[in-house]
Every structure is written in structure tokens, then in C-alpha cells.
Structure 1
Amino acid sequence: MDFNDTPEEAKFRAEVRDWLSKNATLKSEAKNANVDRTQDQVVKRNKEWQAKKADAGYAALTWPKEWGGAGASPIHSVIYGQEESRYDVPGSIFAIGLGMCIPTVMAWGSDEHKKRFVKPAIRGEEIWCQLFSEPAGGSDVAGLRTRAEKDGDEWVINGQKVWTSGAQFCDYGILLTRTDPNVPKHKGLTMFWIDMKDPAVEVRPIRQMSGESGFNEVFFTDLRVKDSQRLGKEGDGWKVALTTLMNERLAVGGSQGNADVDDLIRLARDVDIADGPAINNGAVRERIADWYVQAQGLKFTRFRTLTALSKGETPGPESSISKIVAAKKMQDLGSFGMDLQDQGGIIRDRNVSPLEGAYTEQWFGAAGYRIAGGTDEILRNIVAERVLGLPQDVRVDKDKAFNELPKGK
């Protein structure tokens, strides 16, 4: 693969640079732009930026034109992301909806679903969340107990989800439920889209150690949804969920917007340690070099994924590799950045903290990234079995009906 811009790509990059220069502020010129914003302000700023991108044709570059996208190649999306990363723009609250939920709707929903939901999502008019994880399931998504029971042309849903990002401000969600407990756990699942504003849906934010509440518990009490809200066939929920999960690992593994190697190099130049500027210290340079190599590996592995996407193929297990490396790198780099700042690294007030607390916030958030989209252990199993071809783990529940599995007390 040739990583240099073609003439057409170079032209597109120039157009993007010109548009961004007129509509956003460079990070190097922005001062405290994202400090102390309320949730309503964050949502408002995100929606304004998303609508502006949509008007310019940059909001969904690779999606089909018939659904509001630009019909461009994945490399155009990469170019836009590279250029936008230099600017102080909102960290998108639409990442889950546009990166995971709406692609699932486009793959499994009806034409009516696509006409109703895709364009509003692209413009940022509606926000989506993903409702998979449950308290009793841990990393075993297929072990879920939220049940959906058929009642005429409707389904009645009862149960609980947890660690749902952004549920407190979302309009819609995709919900994985158990519709048949009499078959093995992966075969008795069905996916629906739901209205998060329905009175039968209760959202409870979870207070995190960082002081923020990005994750939520979500409870369903006799939530009634129409059968027309089903995505895929009854009992095919696991197949539908795999579409979401593969896109989730791609999104998490390639997530942007955190302090990275270039930022760490700038910090090391500005900070003095015992023997002078940190950048001159051999141990510091060695750590930076390690993360630089990881960053390059992630970039080129992501290009492998984009090559597959450009051929119309589903993202493969390479997205799991990226996610394993990226999440740990994010956590380790955040911790090292805090250490370099000495006492300043533990200050939580972004108004006085060095670099507006970028590394402190990154360290707090990284633990969640190592769980979101599959824990390190789950992903290592995927890589071992599907990439390296190693024998699968023994599964004593493989052919047992879900209602025959032992339950915790």
C-alpha cells in the first residue's frame, strides 16, 4: 500500500485544510476552550459542529450518498481525521452512534429504518447509545438476561444494562435482548432499536472516581416496542451484535483526541528533571521511542483495516489487535505524562493544571477504554483463536440451553 497522497488525495487534503482553517481554531492557538462546560453546553457544541461538518459534506465521508454520506473512500476519512486532529473541536458524542449503532441499522434495518434514522444522525440531530453489557454478564455479552417477550405485534422488555456511555443524553439506542432461553445462549438473542425517552426506560448515571458520570445504568420496566423495531430476524441477535462489536473495536482501537507521542515530546522539552530537560534523559527518550513505535504500528494496522473496508469487507480481528495496544498505550502514556509534571500532574482543576490536565484526564479515562469494546483478556483470546489459529478455550456451556446454565447466588 502506498501511503503517499495521490494527486486527488492531495487536492482533497488541501480542501479540508482550507475549510478547517475557516471554521475551527488550531489547538496551538486555543486557550481553555473545553474547560468547565456543563453537559448541555457540551451537547450543544457537539451538535453545532456536527451540523457544520454535515453541511460541508465531511460528516459521513464513507457512507453511501443515498443515505446522506459522501460516498468517498476510507482514505478520505483518514485524511479528514488527520487534519481535524490539529484543531480544537468537540470530542464527538456521536462516536457510538455513527461508529457503531447507525452502521448496524444500515446493515440490518429496513429501508424505513434507514430513511428515518441515518440522515438525522449524520447531522447530529439525534444521539444514539449501545445497550449490551449487563451486571451479571461481565465480559460475556451473550450471557445477558434482559428478556423480551412477544405480545401480539409487540415485545415487552424487562431487565438492566450497565456501563452505557452517554445514555443520559441519548435519543435512541440499540438493545440486545434474550427472546428464547431454551436454546444455547448465542442463539436466543434478538436486537431492537428503542426510544431512550420512553417512560419505561430509566437512566441512572454512575459517579466515577474522576468525578464525571460518562457511564450509566439503564433499567427497562415493561418497555413495549413494536416488532417493526427489530433489527435482523428473531434469534439472529448475535449476528447483528457482531456487526456492532467489530465496529466498536475498530472505533475504540483507532480512537483519536487523546494526548499522544507528539504531545509527550513537547512536554518533555518543557519539563526539567534532576539532570536537565526531560527530553535529554536517556530513559525518557527510550519510553517515548517505545510509544512512537506502537503508534506507527497502530497506524499501519488501521490502514490494513481500511484497505479491507475499501473492498467492501467487514472489519476483521485486526481491530482487536489495535484495541489491545491502543488502550494500554493510552493508560501508560497518561501515567508517564503525569509523572513528568511532578506534583502538577495530580491537579484536577483544568484551569490551573499543566496542559489543562490532559494527562490526568487521560489516565482516569484509560481504565474504561481497556474494558469498552472487550476486555484485554477477551481480545487476546480472539487474537489467539482467529488470528493465530490456536485451539479454542474449552466451553462447557456451548450446547446447553441458556435456562440450564448455573446462576450465581
Structure 2
Amino acid sequence: MERDFRQEVRDWMAAHLTGEFAALAGTGGPGREHEHLDLRARWERVLGAAGWIGLGWPAPHGGGASIAEQVAFHEEYARAGGPGRLSHIGEHLLAPTLVAHGTDAQRRRFLPPIAAATELWCQGYSEPEAGSDLANVQTRAELSGGRWHVTGQKVWTSLAHVADWCFVLARTERGSTRKEGLSYLLVPMDQPGVTVRPIVQLTGTSEFNEVFFDDAVTDADLVVGAPGDGWRIATSTLAHERGVATLGQQMQFARELAAVVGRARATGAFDDPVIADRIADAWVGLQGLRHHALRTLSSAEPDPVAASVAKLLWAGWHQRLGELAIAVEGAGATLVDAAPYELTDAQRLFLFTRADTIYGGADEIQRNIVATSVLGGR
């Protein structure tokens, strides 16, 4: 039963988010990806050893949990203050892609270390001229001597500085344009041809990176799907990007909202009817996010349109929450106390959420997807 499973997760988190891992509670979220990287990597391996990674995979691949159980895990994980996940790109993006489109050999090679969190992944999609316009990918790969040789640049690559592997969308057919001639390659990061450079954000931290491939190599058989079919595979990955883990994200949002409400009560801002109305609106919006996610998850197949709608909903909501956090603090929110000038939670939330409507698919592109798919581009 879901209730028993939920209690099992709750008990496990209470028993394990202790000792050295107690310092991880509430860390590593948006804008705080730099926190406790080594300790969070060890935490991931503890999760993997306990069987909590890959719950949503098909049973033959070690998963088989129901949607209700997956929702329960992510909600209870977030409610307990579980740290930001380092293995989520492999677990929730690459693994479902390999299950759907990979070879048996690829699944045998990569699914077990993802489940054990002994290999971490990053996503090599966006480029300086191909961010929201992903079909404009210019990174090239040529097959020579039994290996793919990859040259190009990726940008806004989350967790590239800790990842062991990257799934890379690259152009493998000379003269091809747009969605044609792309391939989906699995590329090891620890090699001389790969350089990772951090991108410093408004918050002063570096959650994202630039990644340069200078004749980096990977084996010929580490292409998912057929060469040239990368667009179809890449869009399949994107359809999984906003899956059941979004319920955990929303629990983190709920904690952030609760913190804003707590500050509003402490500062007296809650007595301002305008602030109180904005808080109420934020609460209602959060319930809408949850119900949309649950409705989407009830679908038998990932729905790219519903995923785009979800991105539009949560990005705007989270951005408004950041603005509300600053409004609650008042004029003092423009100041920091003293050296080393650490940002407050409200300041960090406000600055980080400026990017919410851009990263993960800009709002304009998501609206285009919805319009093209639902309205036929009219």
C-alpha cells in the first residue's frame, strides 16, 4: 500500500539523514548546487545501495514501483530535507532513454552504475548558438577508427564538473541542417579532449558549466539509436525531464514558500493585505502545479506538450516567489550584512529564479511547442 511505502521512506530518511549526513539536510537545491559535493556523492551511493535509485524504471531493470510509490518517495525525500540529487540526470533522463531506445549491451553497461550512483551523468544539449533553438546544434562527431571523434562546445551543462559521462547531441552527417543528421552519443568526461569551465551566476556560485570537446572520443557502439536519429532520441529524453521527480521539486517549493510565510509573520509583512494576497496566490498556484503534475503522470506515455505546460507553470510561479521573498524582507533585502557578504536565503532565491524562465527551455520556446502541437501552429 502507498501508505506503508510512504512510511517506509519516512523511516529510512529519519534513520539515514543523520551523523555525517545530517549536514546535508536542505542543501544542494537551486542556486546551492555547489554545497557538499563529496558528501552528497557518498549520500547518493547510500541511496543506491538501499535501492532508492531507479524506482520508476521497468521491473526487469530493477524498478517497478507504481506512480503512487514514486510520488511518495520524492515527496517524503523532499519533506525530510533530502539534499539536491547528483544522480538525477542519469536516473531520470538517460536511463529511461536507454530503456526505450538503447541496446541490450548499453543497458547492461550503464543502468547498474546509475542505480548504484557510481557513475554520474550530465546532459550535452545546449550550445552558444543552440540553446532554446536546440536544432541548431553545431558540435560535430565523425566516426573514424572505430571511435566517434567529437569537437564542439556545450554550455549551461549542469553537474559537468562532477559527471563521469555526458550524453551529447552532435551533428554526424556532413552538410546536414536542423533536426537532420544528429546523433545521440555517450561520451566519457575523464579524457584529455574534454575541458569543463564553470559559469559564475548572479548568486556567485557555479551550478552550470561550459564544456569543450576537442577531438574527444567515444566507442563506435556508444550511439543511442541509429546514427542520424539523434533528434528523435533527444526529444524522447526531454519528455522524461519533467516526470515524477517534479513532485519532489514541488515539495522543495513548498518549503521555500513556508520559509517566506515565516519571515512575513516575523517581520510583520503578513499584516499587509497586498503581501497576504500574494502569499495566498502563491499557495493556490502551488496546488495547481501539483494537480497538473499528477494529471500528467497518469498518462501512459510521456507527453511533451504537458511537460512544456508544466515548465511554463512552475517557472513563472517560482520566479514570483523569489520576488515575494524580497518584498517580505522590505528595503533591507537590498543589503548584505558584512564580509564575506553571503547572500540571505531570500536574496539567493530571488537572484536564482531570474533564470527560471530561461533554463530548461525558455518560456518563448515552450509556448511555441504548445502552439504548434495543440493549435497546429495557427
State TM-score, norm by structure 2.
0.88
Question: Which whole-Å CA distance do the structure 2 matches of 1:19 and 1:252 have between them?
Answer: 19
Aligned with 1:326 (options 288, 305, 314): 314
Instruction: Out of 175-184 and 343-352, give the one that drifted further.
Output: 343-352
Alpha-carbon deviation of 1:73?
0.8
Aligned with 2:292 (options 301, 321, 327): 301
Alpha-carbon deviation of 1:240?
0.5
SS of 2:195's equivalent in the other structure is strand
Contact kept? 1:252, 1:373, Cα under 8 Å: no
Alpha-carbon deviation of 1:34?
4.3
Per-residue Cα deviation, 1:33-87 (whole angstroms, up to 9, x for no partner): 749xx98972222222222223333222211343333x11111111112222222
Residue type of the partner of 1:265? V
Question: Which whole-Å CA distance do the structure 2 matches of 1:157 and 1:30 have between them?
Answer: 40
SS of 1:228's equivalent in the other structure is coil
**Could you say which residue in structure 2 is the equivalent of 1:199?**
192
Question: Which whole-Å CA distance do the structure 2 matches of 1:72 and 1:370 have between them?
Answer: 32
In the comparison of the two structures, how many residue pairs are matched? 369
**Could you say which residue in structure 1 is the equivalent of 2:68?**
75
**Could you say which residue in structure 1 is the equivalent of 2:40?**
46
SS of 2:142's equivalent in the other structure is strand
Distance 1:316 1:206, change over 3 A: closer
Residue type of the partner of 2:328? L
The alignment status of 1:148 with 2:136, answered yes or no, reads no
1:256-335 superposed matches below 5 A: 256=250, 257-258=252-253, 259-272=255-268, 278-308=269-299, 311=300, 313-335=301-323
SS of 1:204's equivalent in the other structure is strand
Distance 1:351 1:341, change over 3 A: farther
Question: Which whole-Å CA distance do the structure 2 matches of 1:132 and 1:207 have between them?
Answer: 19
SS of 2:82's equivalent in the other structure is coil
Question: Which whole-Å CA distance do the structure 1 matches of 2:24 and 2:227 have between them?
Answer: 52
SS of 1:368's equivalent in the other structure is coil
1:76-155 superposed matches below 5 A: 76-155=69-148
Larger Cα-atom Rg: 1
Residue type of the partner of 2:115? I
SS of 2:205's equivalent in the other structure is coil
Residue type of the partner of 2:171? R
Question: Which whole-Å CA distance do the structure 1 matches of 2:357 and 2:245 have between them?
Answer: 9
Alpha-carbon deviation of 1:364?
2.1
Alpha-carbon deviation of 1:122?
2.0
Question: Which whole-Å CA distance do the structure 1 matches of 2:2 and 2:318 have between them?
Answer: 30
Unaligned ranges ≥5, structure 1: 1-7, 273-277, 393-409
Instruction: Out of 153-162 and 190-199, give the one that drifted further.
Output: 153-162
Distance 1:314 1:138, change over 3 A: closer
SS of 2:368's equivalent in the other structure is helix
Contact kept? 2:25, 2:82, Cα under 8 Å: no
Contact kept? 1:249, 1:373, Cα under 8 Å: no
Aligned with 2:345 (options 358, 365, 369): 358
SS of 2:183's equivalent in the other structure is strand
Question: Which whole-Å CA distance do the structure 1 matches of 2:58 and 2:338 have between them?
Answer: 40
Aligned with 2:55 (options 61, 70, 85): 61
Residue type of the partner of 1:74? I
Distance 1:306 1:280, change over 3 A: same
The alignment status of 1:341 with 2:332, answered yes or no, reads no
**Could you say which residue in structure 1 is the equivalent of 2:14?**
21
**Could you say which residue in structure 2 is the equivalent of 1:381?**
368
Question: Which whole-Å CA distance do the structure 2 matches of 1:240 and 1:337 have between them?
Answer: 39
Aligned with 2:157 (options 164, 168, 177): 164
Contact kept? 2:17, 2:25, Cα under 8 Å: no
Question: Which whole-Å CA distance do the structure 1 matches of 2:348 and 2:335 have between them?
Answer: 10
Instruction: Out of 38-47 and 327-336, give the one that drifted further.
Output: 38-47
Question: Which whole-Å CA distance do the structure 1 matches of 2:221 and 2:337 have between them?
Answer: 48
Aligned with 2:216 (options 223, 231, 244): 223
Contact kept? 1:338, 1:359, Cα under 8 Å: yes
Residue type of the partner of 1:203? V
Question: Which whole-Å CA distance do the structure 2 matches of 1:296 and 1:319 have between them?
Answer: 17
Residue type of the partner of 1:281? D
* RMSD (Å), alpha carbons: 2.8
Distance 1:301 1:348, change over 3 A: farther
Contact kept? 1:175, 1:193, Cα under 8 Å: yes
Residue type of the partner of 1:270? A
Contact kept? 1:348, 1:360, Cα under 8 Å: no
Question: Which whole-Å CA distance do the structure 2 matches of 1:340 and 1:198 have between them?
Answer: 48
Distance 1:11 1:264, change over 3 A: same
**Could you say which residue in structure 2 is the equivalent of 1:372?**
359
State TM-score, norm by structure 1.
0.82
Alpha-carbon deviation of 1:352?
10
Question: Which whole-Å CA distance do the structure 2 matches of 1:65 and 1:114 have between them?
Answer: 13
Per-residue Cα deviation, 1:264-293 (whole angstroms, up to 9, x for no partner): 322222222xxxxx2232111211121122
SS of 2:143's equivalent in the other structure is strand
SS of 1:49's equivalent in the other structure is helix
Instruction: Out of 153-162 and 123-132, give the one that drifted further.
Output: 153-162
Residue type of the partner of 2:377? P
Contact kept? 1:75, 1:306, Cα under 8 Å: no
